[in-house]
Structures are given as structure tokens and as C-alpha cells.
Chains A and B, each alone.
Chain A
Amino acid sequence: MATVDTAKDAAVLAAHAVEEEGVRRRDFIHVATISFAGVGAAAVALPLLGSLSASADVVALSSIEVDISKIEPGQAIKTSWRKQPVFIRNLTPQEVKEASAASLDAMRDPQTLAERTLPGKENWLVTLGVCTHLGCVPLGAAAGEVKGEFGGYFCPCHGSHYDTAGRIMKGPAPTNLAVPEFSFLSDTIIKIG
């Protein structure tokens, strides 16, 4: 009898097990389907969001070449790089001397002129024309513009004064005018970016 009972029980248990197995397998399928749908949605979202990044033609223009042969000492030009203004300034020997000699102690963002220019070309100061405070374009590059108390650049938005090496001397801006990556292709042509 006992054997029969056990066999019966075993059969019932087995049947239960099959049922449970079935239930679990079904759940697994639903979970898998929903997970796949989620992964698919993410896989579609990626290119859609990626399309917002800089397009190939914009990236292709990320470096420019500028002819600087016409900039006399003491003058500066404003050009555009990556849709932002860039100041290229030809410092006079006097300015180079003073800027190199300036004491770093008083500066908010201490940097020597040599650190901000290329060796042997210390008279060529290339900076972004974007005030490091809130992004206005400082004055001082064009002839006749206010150059601020330190003879470099002056930002009219909130009164930041930069010296001839584009270093922040006074006002709210936290850092010096940024120096983009640049190099001399020849004595008269520089490549920015």
C-alpha cells in the first residue's frame, strides 16, 4: 500500500512540478520579452540623441588657419574659430617685457607670459575672446576700444579687467582668457585648433 501511496504522491508531486515549471517558464518569457523591448527602445534612443551632437561638417571646421602678416605690433585682430571670437594680438616689445616681468603674486590665476605663448613667439598672444565670467566678448581687440585698467582687455558686462597677456587682474572673472591650441605653420600663418 505504502508503495502505491508513495507512487501516487510522487505522481502528484511530479504533476505539480511540471505545472510550476510551466508557470516559471512563462514568466521568464514575459520578462524576456519586456526586457528586449526595453533594450530595443534604448538602442533606438541612442542614435536619436546622437543626432544632436556636432555634425560632421561642423567638426571638420574645428581648425582654421589665419594669416597674421598684417598685424602690426600693438595691434590685435578678432577672428572666429568654432563660432567663437578669437583675439590674436601682436604685443610690442615693451608689452612683452612688462608682461613677462609682472609679479604673479597679485594674480588670481597665476601664469607667466611664456606659459601663454609659444617659445620664440612670445609677442603673439592668441586667446579666446570669451570672458571667463559669463561668456561676454571683452573689448580691447579693435582699435579705439577700451582696454581696461591694465591695458589688455576689458569686459563691459561685469567689469573684468585683463592685462596685455589676457590674464585676469580685476573683476569677477575667475580665470585668464583661455588660450586655444595653436601652432605656427610659417612665420605668417598660424593654425588654431
Chain B
Amino acid sequence: MIRIFALLIGLFFSGMLLLSFAIGAYTAATETVAETAEHKFHKHAKAVSFAHDGPFGKFDRAQLQRGLKVYKEVCAACHSLNQVAFRNFAEIGYNEDEVKAIAKGWPAETPSVDPETGEASSRPAIAADKIPSPFLNEVAARAANNNALPPDLSLMAKARHNGPAYIYSLLTGYQNQPAALLKKFPDSKTGEGLYYNPYFANLNIAMAPPLNDGQVTFDDGSPNSKAAMAKDVAAFLTWTAEPKMEQRKSAGWAALIFLLIFTGLAFMSYKAIWADKKH
């Protein structure tokens, strides 16, 4: 009885699937799927290497500090970094006083309440504060950016596939829309207030090209070409997304070495116990 039911149900499901397949195959054979510009012209992130890559990689502190400077002077005008607190900058090589100075001198202030009147107000940030957002809220952010919302950057390096390389590619990837694209997809012309960037998912990004050669000057005279700055800020955002990366890797090695020894011992134990048993 159970087998008869099973047979009927099996025939039904398999039959419907094969019918779906047949109709799908017929459709695929008779109709061509329209190609899209995104399909044809989207590019994967450029190959770029960082000091923190690989199982032994460590952050390059000087690069992170340069990246912070780029973020502060360029990105922070529109993008928040709301998971990061000023005190965290101690981890990229600043001492307590430097951290306080960075907090105090930050372009945006921390929202607070006027102690006299109770009205919304702001005060200079302290080390324990999270980095203040450039805009009070989403509405303000959209209003200032042509209705596009600049995303928070704290986790950007983990929120995109191959994040650090994606950030680098996006920042250095602005170009004119290729003639071949317009020829093939005349309707896909980059719209008003948008910029063509083949590394962006739908090719047209609302962010204007943010970096120009020499835009930020580094105290130590490090190169400040567009590519160098993009790489620095990509490294910095990798740190903001994964600040515990170095602890993670070193703990990982300790755990792996320990487990290799344990497993070796356990294997010998296992073999010794089974030595007189054929199995």
C-alpha cells in the first residue's frame, strides 16, 4: 500500500518536474533571453594584494593611519563609520592623547542634549564615543545626496564579495561609458547624477568619483596617487570590518598546532588500542 502511494506521488512530482523541464527547454530553444548591460560589462574586482592577506598577514599600521586620514578628509563627508569608536584607533598605533585629539578634532560632533534647555545639540567627541555620522539621520543624508543614501562603511569590506579588492576597484574604476555598451544597449545610458563604474553591481553609481591624485597629503610624504589612497582606505576599511583579524590568525595557529599534536597522539592511542584486533 505504502509503495503504491509512493509510486503515485513519485510519478506526480517527477512528471511535473519533467513537464516543467520540457516547457523550459522549449522556451529556451525558441526564445532568446535578452542580455543586460550589467551581464556584459560588469567587471570582477581587480587583483590587489594587502599586507593583511593570507594566514600570516598582519595589518600595516602606517597604511591604516593613512587610510584613516583619507577616510576622515574624503569619505567622512558623506559616509558614517558607526561601528567604530575613537578609542579603537589605539589599535592602529595611536597613543591615548592622539586618540583624544582625533576625537576632539573630528569634523562632525557627537549629538547630545543641551543641559540647560534640553534641546538637541552636539558636543566635541571623546575617546569613548563612536565616530559621529556626517548626517543626523537617513532623511538628511538622502536630502544632501540627490536622494541616494551613502552606506555606512564599518563593515563594507565584509559586506561585499572580495571586499577590500572591491573597494579599491570601485574607487579607481570610474571611467567613461564604453562606446560598445551604448551601441549594444542604447537605453542604458548613465543617467543624470550617476557615474559609470564597471565594478559597481548595476554599473551606474550615485557617488561622484571621490578621489583625485594628490588630494590628501600624508605627513610622512607617502605616495598620494589615486590608486595609493584607494589602497590605503581599502586597508583601513578592512580593519574597521575585522578589527580582531590579527588575534584571530594568531589564535588560529596556536589552536591548529595544538590540535595537530593532539590528533597525532589520539591516532597513536587509537592504533595502540586496536593493535591486537583485526578490523
* Residue B235 lies at the interface, judged by CB distance under 8 Å to chain A: no
A to B contact number (C-beta, < 8 Å): 34
* Residue B272 lies at the interface, judged by CB distance under 8 Å to chain A: yes
Whose C-beta in chain A lies nearest to the C-beta of B129?
A60
CB–CB A37/B262 < 8 A: yes
Binds A, one of B14-22, B171-179, B263-271: B263-271
CB–CB A36/B262 < 8 A: yes
CB-contacts of B216-264 with A (<8 A): 258-259, 261-262
Residues from chain B with a CB closer than 8 A to the CB of A67 are 115
Q: Is the interface of B mostly helix, strand, loop or mixed?
A: helix
* Given A40-B258, A61-B128, also A33-B266 (CB < 8 A): yes
Residues from chain A with a CB closer than 8 A to the CB of B85 are 57, 60
Identify which of A30, A43, A65 contacts B258 (C-beta below 8 A). A43
Whose C-beta in chain B lies nearest to the C-beta of A25?
B272
Distance A107 CA – B273 CA, assembled complex (angstroms): 73
Q: Is the interface of A mostly helix, strand, loop or mixed?
A: helix
Number of interface residues of A (CB under 8 A): 16
* Residue A26 lies at the interface, judged by CB distance under 8 Å to chain B: yes
* Residue B157 lies at the interface, judged by CB distance under 8 Å to chain A: no
* Residue A32 lies at the interface, judged by CB distance under 8 Å to chain B: yes
CB-contacts of A157-181 with B (<8 A): none
CB–CB A26/B87 < 8 A: no
CB-defined interface of A49-84 with B at 8 Å, one 1/0 digit per residue? Answer: 000000011001100010100000000000000000
B12 CB, nearest partner CB in chain A, Å: 50
Identify which of A29, A56, A61 contacts B269 (C-beta below 8 A). A29
Residues from chain B with a CB closer than 8 A to the CB of A33 are 262, 265-266, 268-269
Distance A67 CA – B123 CA, assembled complex (angstroms): 14
A29 CB, nearest partner CB in chain B, Å: 5
B228 CB, nearest partner CB in chain A, Å: 32
Residues from chain A with a CB closer than 8 A to the CB of B266 are 33
Residues from chain B with a CB closer than 8 A to the CB of A56 are 87
CB–CB B261/A26 < 8 A: no
A24 CB, nearest partner CB in chain B, Å: 11
Distance A67 CA – B126 CA, assembled complex (angstroms): 15
CB–CB B265/A36 < 8 A: yes
Distance A67 CA – B112 CA, assembled complex (angstroms): 15
The 6 closest A-B pairs by CB, nearest first: A60-B128, A33-B265, A26-B272, A33-B269, A36-B262, A29-B268
7 interchain pairs, CB-CB under 8 A: A26-B272, A33-B269, A36-B262, A36-B265, A40-B258, A43-B258, A61-B128
Interface residues in chain A, defined as those with a beta carbon under 8 Å from any beta carbon in chain B: 26, 29-30, 32-33, 36-37, 39-40, 43, 56-57, 60-61, 65, 67
Q: 10 extra interchain contacts, Cβ-Cβ under 8 A, other than A60-B85, A61-B128? A: A32-B265, A33-B265, A33-B269, A39-B258, A40-B258, A40-B262, A56-B87, A57-B85, A57-B128, A60-B87
